[in-house]
């Protein structure tokens, strides 16, 4: 599966109010591994950034004066994104800006080009309800090193988000992911011989067993003695009849 982690920097907060994209960073993943086939563009937005936006990204108006306009890189960008799953943090923001840029040059919206869009902010809110789910907060929570991020930058943020996404979606398949070839076509399924793996068996401590038993007792009380684990244990190990 080909995935593109994408981030933008802009002159302000509203595409509808005339703000424009000044930077696009894209990082490619194939079968959940970084390929190095990345894209990075600085763009001339044909307007100045708002003061608050400058404090966020630190990209001066003067630096952008001689950079290409969006129309000049549109074909290269769209060819790169074609049919891929696009992964964005707070996708509604970036997609609205990309759609406005495409509209200004007479192109159809992003959804007509890409395979799908995944919003990691929505994923994080479901996984960590009630907690801060900014990119920095997720980096701290998931152990992703963001020490080099002093200002927002599209390519750096896309690289960090790629690590965050892999951690957010890492489940049981993580045990076998390194055994898969780096480039496996989507329509080929790799069979992994599990006999080649020696997995350690970690037994619960006495304290963990006691804590687990306390939870089961609470479940017994609230379910009227119908706790599934208790019923299964009884079915597998029925009491010995008394003569």
DSSP 189-237: PPP--GGG--PPP-PPPHHHHHHHHHHHHHHHHHHTS--HHHHHHHHHS
In this structure, the strands spanning 2-10 and 116-119 are unpaired
CATH topology of domain 2-179: Nucleotidyltransferase; domain 5 (3.30.420)
Residue ranges covered by each domain of the chain? 2-179, 206-236
- Alpha-carbon dihedral sign for residues 212, 216, 217, 221: positive
- Three-class DSSP category at 62: helix
How much is the pLDDT for 241? 61
**10-residue stretch averages of pLDDT, the chain, 243 residues long:** 95 96 97 95 97 92 97 98 98 98 98 97 95 95 85 90 93 45 50 64 82 79 70 66 58
Q: Annotated catalytic sites, by residue?
A: 152
How much is the pLDDT for 146? 86
How much is the pLDDT for 26? 98
CA 13 vs CA 9, 84, 93, 219: distances in Å: 10, 26, 8, 49
Q: For the whole model, what pTM was predicted?
A: 0.69
Q: How far apart are CA 195 and CA 143, in angstroms?
A: 31
């Amino acid at each position: 599966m080909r995935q593109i982690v994408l981030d933008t920097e802009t002159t302000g907060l509203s595409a509808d109010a005339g703000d424009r994209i000044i930077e696009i960073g894209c990082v490619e993943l194939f079968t959940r591994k970084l390929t190095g086939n990345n894209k990075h563009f600085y763009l001339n937005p044909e307007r100045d950034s708002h003061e608050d936006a400058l404090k966020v990204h630190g990209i001066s108006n003067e630096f952008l004066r001689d950079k290409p306009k969006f129309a000049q890189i549109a074909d290269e960008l769209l060819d790169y994104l074609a049919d891929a799953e696009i992964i964005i943090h707070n996708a509604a923001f970036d997609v609205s800006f990309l759609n406005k840029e495409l509209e200004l040059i007479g192109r159809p919206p992003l959804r007509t080009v890409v395979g799908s869009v995944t919003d990691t902010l929505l994923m994080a809110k479901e996984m960590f309800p009630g907690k801060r789910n900014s990119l920095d907060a997720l980096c701290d929570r998931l152990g992703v090193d963001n020490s080099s991020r002093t200002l927002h930058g599209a390519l750096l943020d896309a690289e960090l988000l790629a690590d965050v996404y892999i951690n957010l979606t890492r489940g049981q398949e993580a045990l076998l992911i390194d055994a898969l070839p780096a480039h496996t076509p989507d329509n080929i399924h790799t069979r992994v011989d599990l006999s080649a793996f020696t997995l350690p068996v970690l037994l619960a401590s006495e304290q963990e067993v006691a804590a687990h038993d306390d939870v089961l007792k609470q479940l017994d009380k609230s379910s009227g003695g119908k706790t599934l684990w208790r019923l299964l244990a009884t079915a597998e190990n029925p009491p010995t009849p008394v003569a």
